[in-house]
Amino acid sequence: MARFSITWIVSSLFGVSLAVNAGQGYFVATSLADIDANVRQLVEKRTPSLVALGQLNAEIGAAGVAQSALLFGDPKQAARSETELRAALDGIETAKSRYKPLMVDEGDRATFAAFVADWDATQAEWRKSRDLAVKEGPSKAAEQLFGPAHEAYAKSVAAIRSSVDDLVMNVGDESTAARAHIASTRTAVYLSVAAGLALTLAALA
């Protein structure tokens, strides 16, 4: 009877040990799957936004250069400057269209709305600069371009950089969460292994 009881106890302990190990394997598999899904979502959700904002920033810079060249560059190159300005403005609209559906929270939308308002103001001030260049000469155009127009332009650039900073910060926060998930998974695995080992040693004792 005692022999049977010991055999039953050993078998039971091994069974429990196997169950713990099986549970451990399932936990690890599902946890790693969750982490992989989170990382994939992070890349898929954030990378297009960074690309669109990068394009937007580049096109704004190109537009500023073309606008200055149009007003104060070689008159023989005016047509070329006009073409470059138009291409940059079109590029900005394309980047805006790409970024709009990628915004994920009210902070993104508020910053983007501020950019749109500042960019509209920039273009209005640029038009005034071009009118002044024709009506009153380059000196008046320069006052306008490097005064009110520059202020609006600087705000536009700052809004885009703010969007990039917020996006990078969000990516950092989500990466920290993923690392915390990995750490908790590792701890749980260690505890599970220790429990399985203890049960195995108990069965052999």
Span 36-55, average pLDDT: 69
pLDDT reported for residue 186: 54
As a whole number of angstroms, the distance between CA 70 and CA 81 comes to 5
Residue-wise pLDDT tens digits, 63-89: 999 998 888 888 888 899 899 999 999
The alpha carbon of residue 188 and the mean position of all alpha carbons in its chain are separated, in whole angstroms, by: 31
Of 53, 38, 76, the C-alpha closest to 180 is: 38
Q: What is the pLDDT of residues 130-149, one digit of tens each?
A: 898 888 888 888 888 888 98
Measuring CA to CA, how many Å separate 170 from each of 52, 56, 69, 103? 16, 20, 38, 12
- Exposed, middle or buried: residue 121 (CB in 10 Å: 0-12, 13-18, 19+)? middle
110-129 pLDDT per residue, tens: 989 999 999 999 999 999 99
92 closest CA partner among 58, 121, 47? 58
